[in-house]
Amino acid sequence: MVSLTQIQEVPPKSMILLVGPPGAGKSTFCQQAILQNLVVDSPIIYVTTECGPFEAVKDLRERGLGEVELGLLNFVDAYNETVGLSVSDRPDTVRADCGSLSSLNIAISKLQNRIGKKGVLLVFDSLTSPYLLSGPEVVRFLRLTLSRFAAEGNSVLACFDEGSGKEEDLVAMMSLSSGVIKMEIKEGKRVLNVVKHPKVGPTRIEVTTTEIWEKKIYDTKIWDREMMRRFITFFMEAAQSRAFKREFGQFAVNIFWPNFARWSCMLWDPKRFPKMTYEVWKEYIASSFREAIPLFPWYRRLPLKFLPKSLSRVKDMKKLLKLMNQQFMRSRRYGILEYLEDVSKTDEHYIRVYESYECWGFENVGAAVASYLPPAMAGHLKGLENWKGFERDWNAVETKCIGLGDSYCEFKLVPGEIDELNDSLEAIDNTIIERIYERLMDRLMGFLLEGKPLVERPTLGSDFYESPEMVLPAISERYQIAFRMGGARAGKKVGEHLIDAGIREDEAVKRILGFLEHCKVGKVTANGTIRMKDNCESIWTKFYTTRWEEPSCYFTTGFLNGFFYAVKNQHVKETKCIAMGDPYCEWEFR
């Protein structure tokens, strides 16, 4: 019987490709292979594209890594440079930009020459990021760089996320590899299907796993409650007043920007992100709403106290949703909510939303695309009932959507499970994500090149308050990676489009900074550095807590870094951030 250890041994002059969806265990497989090679003092080149060497070493130590002889474990850091993170130099590390395949090639060659001998294991975790940044050119990189490296007496172990690219490109990568292992999770077990391998025949291996998607929810104990209280009061009392705009106008943002961020990040995990967004956001809303209710003005809490513990009945739900529409939906400009009393019944409620901020402009894309309003509504109901001492779960599924060709969106809300929910979340595949992303990019280039409008709703306009998309990276570590890499890809593509359109470098910079101002991402100035006041991304982290210890402008930094690398061959790093207590966010060039 073939063991897991056997297939983790990559013979010299071989290249093994690990294929599977995110979360299937490809990185774990790579780390185990690294540990096996270090035991016999085989040198390693570890190319990281979704974390830095510090995080990679931490993971390896959790799996048993001890002291390593100098020169055995070497890194190509293709993450921090790509997303604009500032890190200290390491003697075992060469930096590269994930969006430049020549940069990766040079970094690998430097370490290969430094090691000065054959029998090196090159672990590339993963090829997905370079592919999303450079497309099919990665196939050529695999053939000319990685295959050549293996042919020189070394070995290569590389990963690729299934579903993240075109099928023909994956087939080409598999055909170039001397070994292919397909990985998946089924019924709590990690399944490894060995399609081909230089040492063993086709086989199937099952490994029991207890690993799950880690959810990192805000600790409500560190919320800035006084700020929350003032914010809630203004939203409830004076959303359209001059006082509100003067005090909290920095929270307004054009709906194009968070949607651009959302769909850019979706490309990094198309199979799991819709479901994970739903689960994480629902639980976050439930916990935050439960904690926020005591901060409401007493006369706003009073109607909630008169509601029953259970929100099963139509008349009770009608009262609640009327309050929600007045105090949350309309004031924050998420959409215009209507409770469908005629078709609702006990424990089955239907809600219609007009001009939904997250669906507007995505007509007929082929799927229901609302990712935040359905779980937010379910989370509000769960949080309210929990606050009243009634422990019960709620769920919501979108039954009509602008993305399906409807003129409005509708959701079904029920306590307990919804059979069709999973199918609805899985309907958003890579093809639909690419279709939406292309529409967003076309709209953006129309704005940058011809001054065309980005998006405008007939009643609610182009702005809204409190962007859920910008909160998620602070909730989930996986979203931080996706927002950083998604931002880098988006900025790179925008920069390339502008240069291809014949726009000069300085003019391209001027237009992109004007775009950020137009979207109310923040108030931008550029004079040696890029400085942004009221950044809509970091200001939400600052709003919830005063204990953030690192810059939190995940998408903005990635976007600026990708853009300036494409246009001026420069990288940026965020040195100041509102979330850390600075008066503004600032990026330096390097």
Position 145 scores a pLDDT of: 96
Query: Mean of the pLDDT values across residues 292-305?
Result: 79
Position 215 scores a pLDDT of: 38
pLDDT tens-digit series, residues 74-127: 999 999 999 988 788 899 999 999 999 999 999 999 999 999 999 999 999 999
Position 230 scores a pLDDT of: 59
Position 67 scores a pLDDT of: 86
| Residue with the larger pLDDT of the pair 2 and 236 | 2
150's tokens: 């293996």
Q: Residue 123 phi/psi, 5° resolution?
A: -105, 120
Residues of the chain with pLDDT > 70, as a percent, come to 88
Position 500 scores a pLDDT of: 96
| Same-fold call for 4-208 versus 220-430 | no
CA 530 to chain centre: 24
Query: Over the chain, what is the mean pLDDT?
Result: 87
421 pLDDT higher than 50? yes
Position 207 scores a pLDDT of: 79
Sheet holding 523-526, edge to edge: 523-526, 530-533, 585-589, 572-576
Position 1 scores a pLDDT of: 61
Q: Which residue has the tokens 């063991």?
A: 3
Q: Distance (Å, rounded) from C-alpha 67 to C-alpha 90?
A: 16
Position 226 scores a pLDDT of: 61
Query: Mean of the pLDDT values across residues 398-421?
Result: 96
163 pLDDT higher than 90? no
Q: Distance (Å, rounded) from C-alpha 149 to C-alpha 12?
A: 10
Position 235 scores a pLDDT of: 53
pLDDT tens-digit series, residues 214-264: 334 345 554 555 655 655 565 555 444 444 444 444 568 899 999 999 999
Pick from 75, 36, 29: nearest CA to 56: 75
**List of long-range contacts for 294-302, beta carbons under 8 Å, 24+ apart:** 295/225, 295/228, 295/229, 295/232, 296/232, 296/236, 297/232, 297/233, 297/236, 297/237, 300/236, 300/327
Which amino acid belongs to residue 262? Answer: R
- The partner residues of 68 in beta bridges, in order of sequence, read none
Q: How confident is the model at residue 210 (pLDDT cuts 50, 70, 90)?
A: very low
Position 293 scores a pLDDT of: 81
Position 546 scores a pLDDT of: 55
Which amino acid belongs to residue 509? Answer: V
Which amino acid belongs to residue 504? Answer: R
Torsion of CA 432, 276, 536, 474, to 10 degrees: -150
pLDDT tens-digit series, residues 532-586: 988 888 776 666 555 567 788 889 999 999 999 999 999 898 999 888 888 899 9
408's tokens: 């409005």
pLDDT tens-digit series, residues 143-153: 999 999 999 99
Torsion of CA 58, 62, 63, 67, to 10 degrees: 60
What is the distance in angstroms between the CA of the first residue and the CA of the last residue of the chain? 53
Q: Which residue has the tokens 């979340």?
A: 425
By DSSP bridging, strand 93-95 and strand 179-186 are: unpaired
Q: Is the dihedral of CA 169, 173, 176, 179 positive or negative?
A: negative
pLDDT tens-digit series, residues 329-340: 666 788 998 999
By DSSP bridging, strand 409-415 and strand 394-400 are: antiparallel
Burial 193-231, CB ≥16 within 10 A → b, else e: ebeebbeeeeeebeeeeeeeeeeeebeeeebeeeebeeb
pLDDT tens-digit series, residues 180-199: 999 988 877 889 999 999 98
What CATH superfamily classification does 466-589 receive? Answer: Trafficking protein particle complex subunit 3 (3.30.1380.20)
| Residue with the larger pLDDT of the pair 515 and 65 | 515
Residues 6+ apart with CB under 8 A from 444: 256, 260, 454, 494, 515
Burial 329-354, CB ≥16 within 10 A → b, else e: bbbbbbbbbebbeeebeebebbbbbb
153's tokens: 């007496």
- The partner residues of 95 in beta bridges, in order of sequence, read 77
Cβ atoms of residues 34 and 46 within 8 Å: yes
282 pLDDT higher than 60? yes
Q: Where are the domains of the chain?
A: 4-208, 220-430, 466-589
Position 468 scores a pLDDT of: 67
* Out of 128-137, 233-242, 421-430, least confident range: 233-242
Q: Which residue has the tokens 């609805």?
A: 424
User: Please, what CATH class does the domain formed by 220-430 belong to?
Assistant: alpha beta
Position 223 scores a pLDDT of: 52
Count CA atoms closer than 13 A to 146's CA, side-chain side. Answer: 32
Just give the CATH number of 4-208: 3.40.50.300
530's tokens: 């890029």
Question: In a 3-state reduction of DSSP, which class is residue 462?
Answer: coil
Q: Spell out the alpha helix ranges (H) of 519-573.
A: 538-544, 554-568
Question: In a 3-state reduction of DSSP, which class is residue 61?
Answer: helix
pLDDT tens-digit series, residues 479-498: 788 888 899 999 999 999 99
375 pLDDT higher than 90? yes
Q: Distance (Å, rounded) from C-alpha 508 to C-alpha 516?
A: 13
The pTM assigned to this predicted structure is 0.84
Residues of the chain with pLDDT > 90, as a percent, come to 56
Q: Name the DSSP class of 152.
A: T
pLDDT tens-digit series, residues 24-49: 889 999 999 999 888 888 899 999 99
